[in-house]
Structure 1
Amino acid sequence: MKDRDLSACRRLTGLVVLAILLLGTGCTSSPSRISEPRDPLEPFNRAVFRFNTDFDKAFFQPVAKGYRAITPDPVERGVTNFFGNLSDVTSFVNNVLQFKMSRAGSDVGRLFINSTVGVLGFVDVATNVGLPSYKEDFGQTLGYWGLDSGAFVMVPFLGPNSVRDVFGDVGDIFTDPLFNLDPLFKVDRDGVYWGLVALRAIDRRANYLATSQILEDAAIDPYILLRDAYLQRRHYRVHDGNPPAIEGEEDFWDEVEFD
């Protein structure tokens, strides 16, 4: 494969995994690659992948399309920014846990600017003034301190994950501002929380309606593409964009073909 084509494939699958971190989407086909050591649960994972795919096509995708159809673009961008602003809280905690104080300071600056000037985060002012968004999570923190990702696992409704990141997700819940609505703001947490969780999921799925089609159109096994893209992306993020090489990674990319 030419270097240019290889680079394009890497960028393309990076976009795909952003679209499907919440839900595994696409269609399934027979395995086209030898068994992956990081995927000892492959038969189970493929069954969950099929379930998630069917659920997405029958329910989640139509809801996301309806949301996109009735929501003006400025409002949709504002909703995305609002939830992105909330996620900076979790990012701040995890940057502190990793002793990345300059990044933690950037998270605090983003929260302050976007929550005030940016009207509760509906406008991403911080990015425009040069404060980058890092979006660290507890799975990354565990990886930073040396915990291996463990086996790849497909979670019903939630899509691709790993044993390490499943434990990390628990930590993320407790730093999620939505989870703490009741003690923070003295509101009915259950009603508001689940409403906002549903809106966040629908908004995220709507943002990737176009890119999810890439998975369905891939000339290789979509499950393999999803799994390897997820594991590679998490490896990349744990090492802040400068990961050590993964044995056999280049062999995989040499097999990638797109119509």
Structure 2
Amino acid sequence: MNKNRSAGALAMAGLLAIGGCATGPDRNPQDPLEPLNRATYRFNDALDRAVAKPVAKGYNKVVPQPVRTAVDNFFANLGDVTVMFNDFLQLRISDGMQDLARVAVNTTFGILGTIDIATPAGMQRHDQDFGLTLAHYGMPSGPYLVLPLFGPSTFRDAAGFGVDQYMAPVNQTEPATRNTLWGIDFISTRARYLNATNLLEEAALDKYLFTRDAWLGHRRAQERGGQEDELPQYEREAAPGQPQGK
């Protein structure tokens, strides 16, 4: 994708500008590419501030809540198809059959998934992707990696993301339809997380470290089916090259 190549070039330019930071004994061993990741994070953050966040705010202002909920449900139903495939790949047959039933019920009786009938009926939604499938079969995550436009990942999960995108129902449609659905899904998702990012903006934190460690902790919890990792006290830490408390 040309956008990804351009983003990667900008991220590399950022890396050259900050080549001396985040080195030495304080570097997190899970994040050996921290200078590059920080550059990509800044690129993503700038793009979010300039484009995604204003569009998401406009979407919330203009589109009524019932319509936003229907859009969220529609894309969640499409996402259940990919989850179902990964359930079966991991031999989670019961979960896979339940997700198959969810898709069938919501697509037929829920008007193409715009109404979530399955959840109130007791059909639990699961959360699986091909990165977790690879983890299930013993593949290590590899280093943390911030993807241009798409955000936090690891080497393994970036590869898994590509497979999930290949399997996704949206990507089986004509390019014009696919691109339109991509855009609507992106705006809908960004709008749903406005409050969370507003809280992050207000906190006196190194946003990069917080995002990285929260995401890695969440992925570890998904892999083992246990509790989330406790996050460090970021208010006592500073970004590389910055004074404490900034």
Using structure 1 for the length normalisation, give the TM-score. Answer: 0.79
Q: Is 1:124 matched with 2:116?
A: yes
Backbone CA RMSD of aligned residues: 2.0
* Cα distance, 1:238 vs structure 2: 1.8
Which runs of 5 or more structure 2 residues have no equivalent in the other structure? 1-20, 237-244
> What corresponds to 2:155 in structure 1?
163
> What corresponds to 1:138 in structure 2?
130
Asked if the contact 2:106–2:118 (Cα under 8 Å) also holds between the matched residues in 1, the reply is: yes
Superposed counterparts of 1:53-72, under 5 Å? 53-72=45-64
> What corresponds to 1:242 in structure 2?
226
Structure-2 separation of matches of 1:166 and 1:77: 29
After superposition, give the CA deviation of every residue in 1:11-52 in whole Å (9 maximum; x if it has no partner).
xxxxxxxxxxxxxxxxxxx97x92100100000111111111
> What corresponds to 1:52 in structure 2?
44
Superposed counterparts of 1:172-211, under 5 Å? 172-181=164-173, 189-211=174-196
Identity fraction in percent: 39
Asked if the contact 1:87–1:135 (Cα under 8 Å) also holds between the matched residues in 2, the reply is: no
- Higher relative contact order (CA closer than 8 Å, sequence separation 6+): 1
* Cα distance, 1:217 vs structure 2: 2.1
Q: Which of 78, 87, 96 matches 2:88?
A: 96
Asked if the contact 1:65–1:206 (Cα under 8 Å) also holds between the matched residues in 2, the reply is: yes
After superposition, give the CA deviation of every residue in 1:78-124 in whole Å (9 maximum; x if it has no partner).
00000000011101110001010110011011001100111110001
Structure-2 separation of matches of 1:163 and 1:56: 23
Paired residues, number: 215
Asked if the contact 2:41–2:146 (Cα under 8 Å) also holds between the matched residues in 1, the reply is: yes
Q: Is 1:112 matched with 2:104?
A: yes
After superposition, give the CA deviation of every residue in 1:196-246 in whole Å (9 maximum; x if it has no partner).
00100000000011111122122221110000011111111122x226x9x
* Cα distance, 1:256 vs structure 2: 4.1
Structure-2 separation of matches of 1:133 and 1:34: 39
Structure-1 separation of matches of 2:160 and 2:56: 27
Structure-2 separation of matches of 1:64 and 1:115: 26
After superposition, give the CA deviation of every residue in 1:42-68 in whole Å (9 maximum; x if it has no partner).
001111111111110011101111111
Structure-1 separation of matches of 2:166 and 2:50: 31
Asked if the contact 2:95–2:126 (Cα under 8 Å) also holds between the matched residues in 1, the reply is: yes
Structure-1 separation of matches of 2:69 and 2:215: 25
> What corresponds to 2:73 in structure 1?
81
One-letter amino acid matched to 1:208 = Y
Using structure 2 for the length normalisation, give the TM-score. Answer: 0.83
> What corresponds to 1:216 in structure 2?
201
